[in-house]
């Protein structure tokens, strides 16, 4: 005895008389013993008979031409081109991004940099210098110079060496 799943897989073949004899007798025996599968069989038989009555009024389809077209499509699949809607929405998104980011970038360019502090009055290059005279053994040391360039004559040795 076959299961309900196997029976339902073969119902369309059973209706169109395409099953081998052994499988056909198994499906028939299952349909006789299972109410659920019989209901499925009855529904499929009704749809088939309705199609058989309606199809001649529509004209017989040319199955050989339809199958040739399917085989041709399988051999040479078409490349999908982007749909117009996708292109349209992509352009809209890009325009909106530019519109939202433009003011932010303009504000970033207009911002001012902080100004450096102004140098103190009277000192060169803004570095304060402490001028203190110190007496060491009755000798006066010269005032300290700034840390930048030495003043004229500062590199001369004081004793003339």
Average of per-residue pLDDT across 58-79:
74
Q: Give 74-112 pLDDT, tens digit per residue.
A: 777 777 666 778 888 889 999 999 888 887 777 656 556
Tokens of 77: 């699949």
CB 40 within 8 A of CB 30: no
Nearest Cα residue to 19 out of 2, 34, 33:
2
**Number of folded domains that form the chain:** 1
pTM over 0.85: no
The dihedrals phi and psi of 81, each to the nearest 5 degrees, come to -95, 150
CB 41 within 8 A of CB 16: no
- Domain-embedded: residue 51: yes
> Quick one: pLDDT band at residue 16, thresholds 50, 70, 90?
confident
- Domain-embedded: residue 140: no
- Domain-embedded: residue 37: yes
What distance in Å separates the CA atoms of residue 42 and residue 46, rounded to the nearest whole number? 6
- Domain-embedded: residue 94: no
CB 41 within 8 A of CB 31: yes
Contacts (Cβ under 8 Å, ≥6 apart) of 29: 1
Q: 55 lies in which domain range?
A: 4-75
- Domain-embedded: residue 129: no
CB 38 within 8 A of CB 31: yes
What is the maximal distance between C-alpha atoms in the chain? 135
pLDDT at 37: 92
How many helices (H) and strands (E) the chain has is answered by: 6, 2
- Domain-embedded: residue 47: yes
What distance in Å separates the CA atoms of residue 55 and residue 75, rounded to the nearest whole number? 30
Contacts (Cβ under 8 Å, ≥6 apart) of 107: none
Query: pLDDT over 70 for what percent of the chain?
Result: 61
> Quick one: pLDDT band at residue 22, thresholds 50, 70, 90?
very high
What distance in Å separates the CA atoms of residue 69 and residue 89, rounded to the nearest whole number? 33
């Amino acid at each position: 005895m076959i299961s309900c799943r196997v029976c339902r897989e073969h119902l369309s073949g059973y209706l169109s008389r395409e099953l081998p004899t052994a499988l056909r007798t198994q499906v028939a025996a299952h349909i006789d013993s299972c109410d659920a599968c019989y209901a499925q069989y009855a529904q499929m038989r009704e749809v088939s008979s309705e199609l058989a009555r309606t199809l001649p009024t529509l004209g017989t389809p040319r199955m050989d031409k339809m199958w040739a077209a399917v085989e041709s499509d399988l051999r040479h699949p078409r490349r999908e081109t982007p749909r117009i809607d996708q292109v349209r929405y992509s352009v809209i998104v890009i325009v909106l991004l530019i519109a939202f980011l433009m003011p932010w970038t303009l504000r970033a360019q207009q911002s001012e940099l902080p100004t450096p502090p102004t140098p103190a009055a009277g000192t060169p290059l803004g570095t304060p210098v402490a001028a203190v005279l110190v007496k060491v053994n009755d000798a006066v040391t010269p005032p300290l110079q700034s840390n930048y360039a030495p003043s004229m004559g500062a590199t001369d040795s004081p004793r003339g060496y």
